[in-house]
């Protein structure tokens, strides 16, 4: 049994962007994990899980 | 010289993704039966099946398994796909309901999760030693080959222990589950490590793997290059590529077929897979 990739969901308190990081990308992003891809501010953590119902509203941050 | 043969397993549904995540995930017995047939026609030799209840949640209902298997066999008598039924489709299932369908339906394969772990940082995925001992012995008695799902190297060591104890019988077949939260991350270095750990602890075993999310393609190519087999499907990935929802499970199978052939291998038929896996 698997549950697909696990994400951590955030929003940016500066620009309002909603975004998510896949947990398996922690070693790739390092200290930048969880930061807004647009303005660089540390994101406000909302929740984590394997694709929440409104998952599509959150842009996945890619390397 | 004969070409190497690579087995494609399709994991159509899983216990987690719903229509909200991808409207193409098969959920009902009829949808799953149709999907398995479609994937078999595309090149899948093994179908790993989970069931959903009427609300779309994972269930270990023997009725649902029976209905699905019956629909597949009655509507598609030409389909010789190997059925691999999960024993871990609902975190609240009992030790009994996790194996009742194997006893009744006697599929050729069933999953065997060889250890316990935290589940999505929110719950527990328990595979108690008592359960694993009972399940291993029952699967031998019922003629169901275990597919050892290993989420980390410790689970391979656990399989070696059960092999020595007679709970499992050689040759084993492993499914390396790569990139799942709280399991081993999915990358080539780790896949090589899983393979080498298996070869040292359980020599003579066969193996397959899958990667969730970003590691899906790396694990697909890695499995083919390292002489393993591959699992694809919406249980593990509802996205086909970046920003692109999968149209179907068939789409994943067709991609695996292309990769295997481009590499120079042959796609294993169900008959080939039975020979490779030592199924009767």
pLDDT in tens, B69-116: 999 999 999 999 999 999 999 988 999 999 999 999 999 999 999 999
Mean pLDDT of chain B: 96
H/E stretch holding B34 reads helix B29-42
* Residue B122 reports pLDDT greater than 70: yes
Averaged pLDDT for residues B143-161: 98
Question: In a 10 Å sphere around its CB, with 0-12 CB exposed, 13-18 middle and 19+ buried, how is residue A27 labelled?
Answer: exposed
Top residue of B18, B50, B180, B189 to mutate, by most chain A CBs within 10 Å, is B180
Please state the ipTM of this predicted complex: 0.82
Distance from CA of B11 to the nearest CA of A (A): 9
Q: In residues, how long is chain A?
A: 63
Q: Which residue of A has its CA nearest to B209?
A: A2
CA nearest neighbour of B109 among B178, B230, B9: B9
Asked if B191 is an interface residue toward chain A (Cβ–Cβ < 8 A), one would say no
- Residue B31: pLDDT band by 50, 70, 90 thresholds? very high
Q: What is the pLDDT of residue B87?
A: 98
Say if residue B43 is preceded by a cis peptide, omega within 30 of 0: no
Q: Name the pTM for this structure.
A: 0.95
Q: What is the pLDDT of residue B203?
A: 98
Q: Are B218 and B188 in contact (CB under 8 A)?
A: yes
What is the distance between the alpha carbons of residues B196 and B199, in angstroms, rounded to a whole number?
Answer: 5
Q: What is the pLDDT of residue B121?
A: 83
Least reliable range by pLDDT among B6-15, B117-126, B130-139: B117-126
Q: What is the pLDDT of residue A53?
A: 82
Q: What is the pLDDT of residue B235?
A: 96
Low-confidence ranges of chain A (pLDDT < 50): none
What residues in chain A have their Cβ under 8 A from chain B's Cβ atoms?
1-6, 22-25, 27, 48-51, 53, 55, 60, 62
Question: In a 10 Å sphere around its CB, with 0-12 CB exposed, 13-18 middle and 19+ buried, how is residue B166 labelled?
Answer: exposed
Q: What is the pLDDT of residue B1?
A: 56
Distance from CA of A39 to the nearest CA of B (A): 22
- Residue B127: pLDDT band by 50, 70, 90 thresholds? very high
Averaged pLDDT for residues B25-44: 98
Inter-chain contact B181–A2, Cβ cutoff 8 Å?
A: no
Q: CA B250, B256, B261, B263: dihedral to nearest 10 degrees?
A: 170
What is the distance between the alpha carbons of residues B202 and B199, in angstroms, rounded to a whole number?
Answer: 5
Q: What is the pLDDT of residue A63?
A: 80
Cα A6 to Cα A28, B220, B236, distances in angstroms: 15, 19, 11
Distance from CA of B177 to the nearest CA of A (A): 8
Mean pLDDT of chain A: 92
């Amino acid at each position: 049994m698997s549950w697909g990739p696990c994400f951590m969901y955030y929003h940016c308190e500066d620009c309002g962007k909603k975004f998510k990081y896949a947990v398996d990308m922690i070693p790739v992003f390092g200290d930048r994990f969880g930061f807004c891809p647009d303005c660089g501010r540390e994101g406000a953590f909302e929740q984590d899980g394997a694709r929440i119902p409104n998952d599509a509203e959150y842009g996945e941050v890619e390397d | 010289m004969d070409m190497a043969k690579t087995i494609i397993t399709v994991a159509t549904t899983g216990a987690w993704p719903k229509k909200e995540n991808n409207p193409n995930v098969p959920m009902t017995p009829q949808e799953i039966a149709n999907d398995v047939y479609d994937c078999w026609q595309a090149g899948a030799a093994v179908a790993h099946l989970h069931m959903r209840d009427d609300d779309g949640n994972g269930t270990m209902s023997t009725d649902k398994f029976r209905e699905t298997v019956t629909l597949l066999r009655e509507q598609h008598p030409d389909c010789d796909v190997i059925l691999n039924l999960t024993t871990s489709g609902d975190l609240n299932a009992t030790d009994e309901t996790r194996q009742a369908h194997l006893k009744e339906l006697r599929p050729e394969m069933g999953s065997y999760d060889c250890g316990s772990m935290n589940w999505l940082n929110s719950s527990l995925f328990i595979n108690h030693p008592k359960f694993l001992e009972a399940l291993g012995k029952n699967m031998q008695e019922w003629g169901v080959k275990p597919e050892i799902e290993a989420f980390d190297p410790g689970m391979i060591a656990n399989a070696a222990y059960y092999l020595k104890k007679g709970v499992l019988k050689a040759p084993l077949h492993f499914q390396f589950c790569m990139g799942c939260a709280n399991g081993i991350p999915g990358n080539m270095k780790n896949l090589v490590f899983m393979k080498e750990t298996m070869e040292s602890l359980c020599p003579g075993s066969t193996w397959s793997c899958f990667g969730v999310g970003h590691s899906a393609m790396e694990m697909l190519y890695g499995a083919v290059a390292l002489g393993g087999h591959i699992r694809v499907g919406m249980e593990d990935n509802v996205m086909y590529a970046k920003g692109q929802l999968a149209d179907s499970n068939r789409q994943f199978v067709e991609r695996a077929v292309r990769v295997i052939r481009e590499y120079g291998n042959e796609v294993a038929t169900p008959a080939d897979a039975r020979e490779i896996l030592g199924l009767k």
